[in-house]
Amino acid sequence: MRPMSTAAVNVRVVETNVMMASTATWITIANAILAQMVDAS
C-alpha cells in the first residue's frame, strides 16, 4: 500500500506543478497582449 500512496502523491504534485506552470504561462500571454494593446493606442 505504501508505494501506491506515494505514487498517488507524486501524481498530485506533478498535476499541481503543471497547473501552476500553465497558469503562469497564461498570465504572461495576457500581459503581453495587454502591453501590445497599450502600445497600439
What pLDDT, on a 0 to 100 scale, did the predictor assign at position 18?
Answer: 96
Q: Where are the domains of the chain?
A: 1-41
Three cell numbers at 15? Answer: 498535476
Predicted confidence (pLDDT) per residue in 18-33, tens digit: 999 999 999 999 999 9
What pLDDT, on a 0 to 100 scale, did the predictor assign at position 11?
Answer: 93
What pLDDT, on a 0 to 100 scale, did the predictor assign at position 40?
Answer: 84
* DSSP codes joined into one string, 5-41: HHHHHHHHHHHHHHHHHHHHHHHHHHHHHHHHHHHH-
- Euclidean distance between the first and the last CA atom of the chain, given in angstroms as a whole number: 60
